[in-house]
A and B are shown apart, each in its own frame.
Chain A
Amino acid sequence: AALKDGLRSQVSAALKEGRVTPTELCQRCLALIKSTKFLNAYITVAEETALKQAEESEERYKRGQPLGVLDGIPVAVKDNFNTAGIETTCASNMLKGYISPYNATVVQKLLDQGAVLLGKTNLDEFAMGSGSTDGVFGPVRNPWSYSKQYKEKSVPKSHSEDEESNWVITGGSSGGSAAAVSSFTCFAALGSDTGGSTRNPAAHCGVVGLKPTYGLISRHGLIPLVNSMDVPGILTRCVDDAAVLLGSLAGHDPKDSTTVQDDFTPFELPDLSDVSKLSIGIPKEYHAPGLSSEILALWSKAADLFKNAGAKVVEVSLPHTRYSIVCYHVLCTAEVASNMARFDGLEYGHRSDMKDSTEGMYAATRREGFNDVVRGRILSGNYFLLKQNYEKYFVKAQKVRRLIANDFVKVFRSGVDILLTPTTLSDAAPYTEFIQEDNRTRSAQDDILTQAANMAGLPAINVPTALSERGLPVGLQFIGRSFQEKQLLTVAKWFEKQVQFPVIQLEEVKRHDSGVFQHQKFASFS
């Protein structure tokens, strides 16, 4: 029997039945966070408040009045979501020590349902990057670097070489959240997804990463990268759990004018047995340059899986895919330049000691507060927004964006229900190799398979599929129709059941385990 059997109410059931208490759960997670500190997944661990929340949850369970499935469940939140009273840094010097006075809507919703907030996870600075390597608190290490599966497959080149230099990246920018879920230190985590930042690390860390439809989940309190593409992302160990999280987070927020007004009804995922009515589209353009033969083979195998189960599998075309990188670059940097304008050191955050003039103070503050990646994007963005360039670049890119979005509309209109694509070009790279190229280059390469969904605002999900030859996770991506998360997740769940992705074998987890984590029942909570 596998972890992802899709049985509901596993940890939740255990909590309800008193087989484990919220405090125990919380303490175990906190202990595991401590012993996996080398992963650098967490920037802030909110031990005191977490234990207090666990205590309160315990009271509710004792009274027989839990708030819901999430009551007492330890979760982690990417450090670009505002959390009242807990530092929010965006992994940047600009916000080191910044304590926000308010909770992001999604954070508030989790807390309102009794979830236990363990801490804030690490990321690329201001969510700019695809490796979680460019934050001021250092890179995040992929837990699979320390897995039995990876170690077995890696051949040490010399005696002096050890795990230390061989470790692989998590992908990004929500690497901390992905690592936290992957290493069992929490049951679910929030990430953000602008060009793939939830799905990419999910694929590399072997967890489920859901990017919801734009406008479904509130962005109020999510420090923006690209307002017109950002969404809060959900990272869990199985698809059912992602559905639970989605149910607790989705819905109109009056504080976010870009959320849709329509009512959202949380759903439970059916156990799909018959896929014969399904039409799966395979976009040929996603056979991108640089796609590893391994992943190509897996993708093909997956398509066959559907075909053999009776689904209709067709090749489709999204012809403007190849323009999406450039288009994204223009639109992303333009919005970044605008969004970062508020960081002037006056109202909050880092302020330089330079006192010669206001402008001097601004310039020094921003130079000291932002890393090169952020500053590079600001400069590019301002360039594209100059009056003489606006039509040529920004407006042009908006038009191309429309074309990209229309590609999907056409395909879905032709009868295709879900698209199946790879999530990443290869399995996770070793850190030493990854940093050979700069952030911009890496982002441009790694975003190609995930970004178009952000352009079009569509929901997409990474489902861990198999281990690579190096013993590292590889995931595949499903892209669905706008607001059709139920269908998307139902198909994803069916696929998850078919592939039976293996559980990570981590020493640290085993050590802490007194049945809580490795025991299959408790790996997922729903």
Chain B
Amino acid sequence: LAPWIPVVGLEIHAQISSNSKLFSGSQVQFAAPPNSLVSFFDASLPGTLPVLNRRCVEAAVMTGLALNCSINKKSLFDRKHYFYADLPAGYQITQQRVPIAVNGRLSYSLCIDNKMSQMVTKTVRIKQIQLEQDSGKSLHDDTRSQTLVDLNRAGVGLMEVVMEPDMCCGEEAAAAVRELQLILQTLGSSQAVMAEGQLRVDANVSVHHPGEPYGVRTEVKNINSIRFLAKAVDYEIQRQIEELENGGIILNETRAFDSKLGCTVPMRDKEGKQDYRFMPEPNLPPLILYDAKSLPANMNHQQVINIDWIHERLPDLPSVKREKLVEQYGILPEHSFTLLSEDGLAEFFESVVKQTQMKPKKVIGWILNDLLSYLKEHSLTVKESPVSSFLLADLLNLLEKKEISSTAAKQVLAELWKGEGKTPLEIVKEQKLELLQDQKELEQICQAVIDGQENE
């Protein structure tokens, strides 16, 4: 049997982190009472007009720069028409002709063979980033034959990030999305929490034999976590291979991932071959961005966006942060990945390092093995840790000064988790865990033990 090459591309919608929506002043907020964050424009009241939100444009520029894209100094807005209950205007404002950023790339890392010891770096090309409106939400109430529509989300700004089909499996897709998520969170352009719908991923999957053209692709939707993304992609690849090997064909269709059953199923009622009748959005002039060179001298600062200005103020991206951690502290690359994958963990680690004489290479073990596993076990975030960096540093100092053994240290840590406010030193004294350094005293104790044994 000839080998199969799976091909995976992704369309990712990231909700922009901003106070108000892309084209109107209503607030952006998760889980607000239904229809409480809806402006006249969001409800498509006749006569209302879109006004572009500056912060959303800045978020898209930041993201484009972080993904090594070319920022289009002139981009355009279009209307994409279709009828659906959660799309009040009957069209979505998007960027179909000329999006704000194009031709970027994202590097991400994978562990080989599930071991954290060997990491390999891959790249996926970013086709484009476009600004567009989010839709509202519709909930189907089949028992009462009705649909409930909540427009709170209608009009929230989205960045659609299109990743070219450079990935080959679920693991790669998951790693790429994870890295994108970290980047967005570092930039602050999106909080990118999948569980709150701030990051939505659709996967385009196809398979083909080497040397042959790409196969028919399917689109997989309804993926609610990064873990499910990997599962969904892998399942779909398998399904397509099996289908083709059994003489079947792959339909160019949209499928939904069923997380309970762990499989993809055809989606009923989704568009099929829809003609969106794209038309330029006549109420929004072309979006013009400037850089240091093209910025006219007497331009009102409030009215323009300077790409170079934004570039200069980009924070360190995760990849840079990781490099710095490895260089500064002599930890392994895999360690730096884990440090950055938990919100606040890297800061915690650095804080401990500052407060202790123990070498960072040793501290890292305590952070990644002891602290992290405890937090995971109790579903706590770093911020919620009952053991502060101060306390941990204190403990590690005792260990470093050889006042306690490492076994004793673990015992103290277990006690510290209880969060009863005791210091490590107090616990050591309480539980009599001090290491005896006095030779003579040790001899006496040993002698006593030997004596005790002889008596039995």
- A394 near B279 (CB under 8 angstroms)? yes
Q: Contacts A254-B51, A255-B51 given: A385-B278 contact, CB under 8 Å?
A: yes
Determine the chain B residues whose CB is within 8 A of the CB of A88 once the complex forms: 46
Determine the chain A residues whose CB is within 8 A of the CB of B282 once the complex forms: 226-228, 258, 335
A211 CB to nearest B CB, Å: 18
> Contact partner of A342 among B49, B51, B90, B145, CB < 8 A?
B90
- A346 near B49 (CB under 8 angstroms)? no
B45 CB to nearest A CB, Å: 7
Determine the chain A residues whose CB is within 8 A of the CB of B50 once the complex forms: 257
Chain A binder among B80-88, B126-134, B226-234, B424-432: B80-88
Report whether over half of chain B's contact residues are helix, strand or loop; otherwise say mixed. Answer: loop
> Contact partner of B277 among A220, A222, A254, A382, CB < 8 A?
A382
> Contact partner of A358 among B52, B85, B90, B278, CB < 8 A?
B85
> Contact partner of A82 among B44, B46, B51, CB < 8 A?
B46
Q: Contacts A257-B284, A358-B147 given: A220-B88 contact, CB under 8 Å?
A: no
Bound Cα distance A212, B277 (Å): 31
Bound Cα distance A255, B47 (Å): 11
Q: Does A77 have its Cβ within 8 Å of any Cβ on chain B? A: no
Determine the chain B residues whose CB is within 8 A of the CB of A352 once the complex forms: none
A379 CB to nearest B CB, Å: 12
Bound Cα distance A382, B79 (Å): 13
Which residues of chain B (364-397) have a CB below 8 Å from chain A?
A: none
B94 CB to nearest A CB, Å: 13
Which residues of chain B (23-43) have a CB below 8 Å from chain A?
A: 40, 43
A45 CB to nearest B CB, Å: 21
Q: Contacts A95-B46, A347-B45 given: A101-B284 contact, CB under 8 Å?
A: no
- B283 near A341 (CB under 8 angstroms)? no
A259 CB to nearest B CB, Å: 10
Bound Cα distance A136, B47 (Å): 20
- B46 near A219 (CB under 8 angstroms)? no
Q: Contacts A257-B283, A258-B285, A358-B147 given: A344-B90 contact, CB under 8 Å?
A: yes
- A227 near B88 (CB under 8 angstroms)? no
Q: Does A400 have its Cβ within 8 Å of any Cβ on chain B? A: no
Q: Does B275 have its Cβ within 8 Å of any Cβ on chain A? A: yes
Bound Cα distance A81, B47 (Å): 8
Which residues of chain B (130-162) have a CB below 8 Å from chain A?
A: 145, 147, 149
Determine the chain A residues whose CB is within 8 A of the CB of B337 once the complex forms: none
Q: Does A163 have its Cβ within 8 Å of any Cβ on chain B? A: no
> Contact partner of A387 among B88, B275, B285, CB < 8 A?
B275
Which residues of chain A (205-222) have a CB below 8 Å from chain B?
A: 219-222
Bound Cα distance A422, B264 (Å): 67
Q: Does A337 have its Cβ within 8 Å of any Cβ on chain B? A: yes
Determine the chain A residues whose CB is within 8 A of the CB of B147 once the complex forms: 358
Bound Cα distance A88, B275 (Å): 33
Interface string of A94-122 (1 = CB under 8 A from B): 01000011101000000000000000000
Q: Does A267 have its Cβ within 8 Å of any Cβ on chain B? A: no
- A347 near B49 (CB under 8 angstroms)? no
Bound Cα distance A342, B44 (Å): 7
Determine the chain B residues whose CB is within 8 A of the CB of A104 once the complex forms: 47
- A82 near B47 (CB under 8 angstroms)? yes
- A221 near B47 (CB under 8 angstroms)? yes
Bound Cα distance A346, B138 (Å): 12
> Contact partner of B49 among A256, A382, A387, CB < 8 A?
A256
Determine the chain A residues whose CB is within 8 A of the CB of B88 once the complex forms: 342, 344, 346-347
Which residues of chain B (181-233) have a CB below 8 Å from chain A?
A: none
- A362 near B277 (CB under 8 angstroms)? no
Q: Does B89 have its Cβ within 8 Å of any Cβ on chain A? A: yes
- A390 near B278 (CB under 8 angstroms)? yes
- A334 near B45 (CB under 8 angstroms)? no
Determine the chain B residues whose CB is within 8 A of the CB of A342 once the complex forms: 44, 46, 88-90
Q: Contacts A101-B40, A257-B285, A359-B83 given: A223-B278 contact, CB under 8 Å?
A: no
Determine the chain B residues whose CB is within 8 A of the CB of A394 once the complex forms: 279
- A385 near B45 (CB under 8 angstroms)? no
Q: Does B91 have its Cβ within 8 Å of any Cβ on chain A? A: yes
- B47 near A362 (CB under 8 angstroms)? no
- B277 near A344 (CB under 8 angstroms)? no
Top 4 A-B pairs, shortest CB-CB distance: A341-B90, A385-B277, A227-B282, A342-B44
Instruction: Tell me the A residues contacting B by CB distance below 8 Å.
Output: 81-82, 88, 90, 95, 100-102, 104, 219-224, 226-228, 254-258, 261, 334-335, 337-338, 340-344, 346-348, 355, 358-359, 362, 382, 385-387, 390, 394
Instruction: Tell me the B residues contacting A by CB distance below 8 Å.
Output: 40, 43-52, 79, 81, 83, 85, 88-91, 145, 147, 149, 275, 277-279, 282-285, 303
Beyond A257-B52, A385-B277, 11 additional contacts (C-beta under 8 Å) are: A102-B45, A256-B283, A258-B285, A338-B79, A338-B91, A341-B81, A342-B44, A348-B46, A358-B147, A385-B81, A385-B279
